[in-house]
Amino acid sequence: MMSSVQTENQRVKGLWPMALGIMVPVLLMSLGIACSSSSDREKPGGIIPSDSDADTDSDADSDADSDGDSDADGDSGSNLPPNTWIEYDKYTPDPNNCGEVILAVFRDFKAEHPDFQRVNLGWGPLQGVVDEQLGSDDKPRFNSTWGVNQVVDSGCQETCPTGGDLDGANLVSTQGWEENWYNSAQNEEQYDIPVPMYDGSSSFSDWYNTVDDVNKEVRKWLTLEKQSDGSYVFDSNSFFPIGDEEGWGVESGQRDEDGESHNFLFTTEVHLEFTYAGGERFTFRGDDDLWIFVNDHLALDLGGMHWPFEGTIDFDKKAKTLEIEKGGTYKMDIFHAERHTEASNFRIETDINCFVVVEVE
């Protein structure tokens, strides 16, 4: 039988490992050093998540904080810079912030394409260039080289740097313009030759399809800015989302009115879904061509090469034509083109409070 002294000494000795077991982790934590098991590393939400990037934090994204989102601050919100465009792989959409971004597919073209940098601009906008029903491939279908109507704003004729407005503008049939073109082919001395704004359906099929040696695809996020009234706005009067070295790059002569070089000549394709609550409006202002389809129906038609022009979709007024009902969820498909140098404008304003981004195929 052990003496009481021996028992006490042994008890005290036995406390040292226990004390060390408590003190060491505490000391390590105070120094900013964490301990974990291999199972912690393998589990999402473990003490040290898997981190294979080159920064100094403990998460797997490329920024320098440890919150796991795609920005460089320390909170869990995206805090995207508003009213700009960001690289496709730099952001993952947050379903809780469904109004702040839209995904755009841009296709960069060369000036040699027959529909871009046309010598004779004509003047638009033109309506009726595309069918009023979206194609089964979710692309617009070419309808007419000359369109059906020319949109004429009395305050915005041959030159219109401040833009025109579809609301209150007159629609003038393009039939006489087309007839003049055929007549000029018979007697060039008697008639001026009015060159059409489009080469035809074959070349138009390139616009919203990625075609080898014809265009190059670039995907980016457009970030909208939330306004005090709850609406969202994207607004740029220098809309060049394709960088100078992206796509085909800047070709010789691609300069704006101030002589600055930019990567002009591109199309924009956007696909979204939204729930129609009633009372919503969607306004676009820009150049050049613009077609917006809602529920596969043409809702805004601003085709043609033109100065900045504005049009608004009033969903309540168009509900019957668009075959939409309050509470229903519907597609919105946006197609835009920037076809000539000098200027590039792109403005969206809407009180639709939540867009669901649809990946473009």
136-189 tens-digit pLDDT = 999 999 999 999 999 988 777 656 666 789 998 999 898 887 887 777 766 656
Q: How far apart are CA 267 and CA 202, in angstroms?
A: 16
In this predicted structure, what is the pLDDT of residue 2? Answer: 37
6 pLDDT higher than 50: no
68 pLDDT higher than 80: no
- The mean pLDDT value for 49-69 works out to 51
Query: Would residue 60 count as lying in a domain?
Result: no
Query: Would residue 167 count as lying in a domain?
Result: yes
In this predicted structure, what is the pLDDT of residue 47? Answer: 27
Together in a domain, 18 and 119: no
Question: Angle at Cα 314 formed by Cα 312 and Cα 317, nearest 5°?
Answer: 140
328 pLDDT higher than 50: yes
In this predicted structure, what is the pLDDT of residue 95? Answer: 73
Together in a domain, 26 and 96: no
Query: Would residue 65 count as lying in a domain?
Result: no
| Mean pLDDT value across the chain | 80
317 pLDDT higher than 90: yes
- The mean pLDDT value for 5-26 works out to 40
Query: Would residue 140 count as lying in a domain?
Result: yes
- Quickly state the pLDDT bin for 74 (edges 50, 70, 90): very low
Query: Would residue 27 count as lying in a domain?
Result: yes
Question: Where is average pLDDT lowest: 77-91, 205-219, 313-327, 328-342?
Answer: 77-91
Together in a domain, 126 and 245: yes
Q: How far apart are CA 338 and CA 236, in angstroms?
A: 13
Domain span at residue 334 reads: 84-357
Count the domains in the chain: 2
In this predicted structure, what is the pLDDT of residue 97? Answer: 74
24 pLDDT higher than 50: no
